[in-house]
Structure 1
Amino acid sequence: PGPLSGRPGRPPLPMTTPRPRTLLALAVTAALAAGATACGSQAATTKPAAADAATSPGAHKGTEITTIGHEKITVPGTKPTALFFFSVGCGECAGGAKSLAAAGKALNGKANAVAVDMDPSESPQTIRQFLTSIKAPHLPAAIDTGAALSQKYKVAALSTLIVVDPAGKVTYRATDPGADQIQTALQKAGAK
């Protein structure tokens, strides 16, 4: 009997293969936990931010995201935010990023939509090329430096989309949702 045969007289234990995007997400998370950081001075950053002045007293402190286009977005902020966790190397992520871009465009500034790259080794230029290839060049994107967002919102798999309302509550979580689903979730979270 070999190492996978189990106890004598029993058939071998089945081998399972994890899904590629889950494997990549786990590898990225492990690298981040070991202290890896985003490369280049243009890399987007995430850091704790003071409570938004426009929110009610006692509001949750948010995380300030600086996108690869140097836009600053605080989550939670005054508007609901959809965060789509991806990697350029994840082929399955293209559809979810397209859907996020379409939902963000349909809501016309009533909510934030941000693509969050979980792989700190991917450069802003590579992310811009990815967004252009999926016909979403204006979708705000950030690199999850130090895994701040993925840890805060307990995201362990690529192609995960979450919606965070202005109070800081995750009101929606899905894998590769369509644009209509994202738009509805953002409206339920307060996009008016």
Structure 2
Amino acid sequence: MTTSRTRRTPLLIAGGLLAGLLTLTACGSTDTDPSAAVGTPTTVTSINGQQINLPSPGKPTAVFFFSVGCGECVNGVRSLGVAATSADEAGSEANFLAVDMDPGESKETIGDFMEYVDAEHVPAAIDQGATLSRRFGVSALSTLIVVDADGTVTFRATDPDAKTITAELQKAGA
């Protein structure tokens, strides 16, 4: 039995609307429990081939979860870049990582995005298999977490500014 084009169209439209609604919900959601622990260390490979350990021995890490297609994520990644520059200039012992939650986005697209928001100096990685987002309990785009050197998430917020990121890294031992 075949389904006529007119009967499939409402289903396709409904499916598209649902997908769009889920995307909007993900961009605007917040995670509120900052006290998750990571457990065993994970090594992440950035889009440039750099190996990054989470947790990082002796250093807290600010991790921002984003997607190139998320408009709200622009300011969050930009703030992460500003915080990384400030930490570097101050000699702070902290790491930074931008994690793209969309495994379909290419390294080139992510690199262009990082350059566009003036955060090309921050390592970026693709969350293959949702490994990091599951590990840290992140279900919303534009989420920043701070992980201390012991692997405990000490801070979680949506789109914090650079001052907040820097302050929370200091609280976590930077």
TM-score by length of 2: 0.76
Paired residue for 1:22?
25
Structure 2 CA distance for partners of 1:148 and 1:99, relative to 1, 3 Å: same
Matched residues in 2 for 1:75 and 1:177: separation?
21
Partner residue of 2:131 out of 148, 164, 189: 148
Higher helix share: 2
Aligned-pair distance for 1:61? Answer: 2.3
Contiguous gaps of at least 5 residues in structure 2:
1-19, 30-38
Structure 2 CA distance for partners of 1:91 and 1:146, relative to 1, 3 Å: same
Paired residue for 2:7?
none
Aligned-pair distance for 1:145? Answer: 0.7
Paired residue for 1:48?
none
Who wins on radius of gyration, i.e. which is larger? 1
**Bigger relative CO (Cα 8 Å, ≥ 6 apart):** 2
Aligned-pair distance for 1:136? Answer: 1.6
Matched residues in 2 for 1:73 and 1:139: separation?
12
**Matched letter for residue 87 of structure 1:** S
Sequence identity percentage: 52
SS of corresponding position for 1:155: coil
Partner residue of 1:77 out of 56, 76, 85: 56
Partner residue of 2:81 out of 101, 104, 110: 101
Aligned-pair distance for 1:132? Answer: 1.2
SS of corresponding position for 2:52: strand
Matched residues in 1 for 2:156 and 2:24: separation?
17
Structure 2 CA distance for partners of 1:64 and 1:89, relative to 1, 3 Å: same
Structure 2 CA distance for partners of 1:177 and 1:88, relative to 1, 3 Å: same
1:10-159 alignment runs, 5 A limit: 18=21, 20-23=23-26, 60-78=39-57, 79-108=59-88, 110-159=93-142
Matched residues in 1 for 2:28 and 2:107: separation?
19
TM-score by length of 1: 0.69
Aligned residues: 142
Matched residues in 1 for 2:80 and 2:135: separation?
20
Contiguous gaps of at least 5 residues in structure 1:
1-16, 27-59
Matched residues in 2 for 1:137 and 1:77: separation?
21
Aligned-pair distance for 1:156? Answer: 0.3
**Matched letter for residue 98 of structure 1:** R
Aligned-pair distance for 1:20? Answer: 3.9
